[in-house]
Amino acid sequence: MENLFFKCKGPFKVSEILNILNLKNKFSTNNQLVKDIKDLFSSEINDISFFHSKKYSYLARDTKASYCITTESLKDDLPQSCTPLIVENVLVSTSIVTAKFYPNSINDDFDETTEDINQTPFKDNVKSGKNVLIGNNVKIGENCSIGHNSIIEKNVLIGNNCSIGSNTIIRNSLIKDNVRILDNCIIGKHGFGFFPNKKNNLRYPHIGLVIIEENCEIGCGSTIDRGSMSNTIIGKNTYLDNQIHIAHNVKIGQNSIIAGQVGIAGSSIIGENVKIGGQAGISGHLKIGNNVEIGGGSGVIKDIPDNSKVMGYPAKNIREFLRENK
């Protein structure tokens, strides 16, 4: 799918990428062009990717990327068709290369193209409150409404029968049919991606989208960050309560229900038919299986297999938790 929000400035020569990473130009293909930077799964021939953890070896082995930013200890998991670029810190190096391909992805400046909805073609077919702003190239389906003081920024796509509450901002997002987003939500801003540095913390570029699939509801005061390299996805028929935070790259399966004040850290994958109780926290890069139930206030710090019921901190089998807390 074409990225409507961030335009790739590539291709660049391999030698240019080696130069910004301070790597020695030791490849015979240094004049070859690299088209784009993508994650391991999405990469194609003549793309560059990154590989920073053994947890993603299953993706590294099958990547189609021609080049990959990685470490000496991980390089052997890559296919022979992929040339490793060995660095000390994969994520910092990836951030530098991503910023070269997508220089407009670092800062989230406000959309200067927005104008009052009454000055746009939507004035007659979208029910709207006061002070609603719409950016360039926005598409809104039939039978939609937008509440007071809300902003729909450029290139956002909204399907049919959608309701957007008041004081809500949507950017870098694809909203499918029959979605309700309640008041005071922020959808599609960059995630909390930083690399600590004593002089100046380095922000990680976020070039992904937020995709909210059909028949979802997003509760008041919730925030959903766009993906860094891949997309943040809310699956069909999933309901989020109030004041929930969904971080970058999170994938939530269909038919899931998440209660208030839950936080899900970056790149975690939530299965289908999952129920999460209020104020639970889920650490990053975890996999929560299908049909899982997580009790309120739990802290999840490791993967949870299908059909499990857990509670507590750290979250454990609910029978074990109840036995220990009689």
Nearest Cα neighbor of 189 from 170, 203, 211, 168 is 170
Q: Which two tokens stand for residue 34?
A: 């690299």
Backbone φ/ψ region at 138: left (φ over 0), alpha (ψ -120 to 50), beta: beta
The residues near 192 (Cβ < 8 Å, ≥ 6 apart) are 225, 247, 248, 266
Decide: 234 and 253 in contact? Cβ < 8 Å.
no
Which of these is catalytic: 206, 245, 248, 285?
248
Chain centroid offset of residue 44 CA: 20
Residue 248 designated active-site: yes
Q: Give the CA angle between residues 209, 95, 302 to the nearest 5°.
A: 70
The DSSP bridge pattern shows strands 217-218 and 180-181 to be parallel
Q: Which two tokens stand for residue 248?
A: 């970058």
Nearest Cα neighbor of 277 from 257, 302, 250, 255 is 257
Backbone φ/ψ region at 304: left (φ over 0), alpha (ψ -120 to 50), beta: beta
Nearest Cα neighbor of 204 from 191, 214, 213 is 191
Decide: 137 and 151 in contact? Cβ < 8 Å.
no
Active site residue ranges: 248
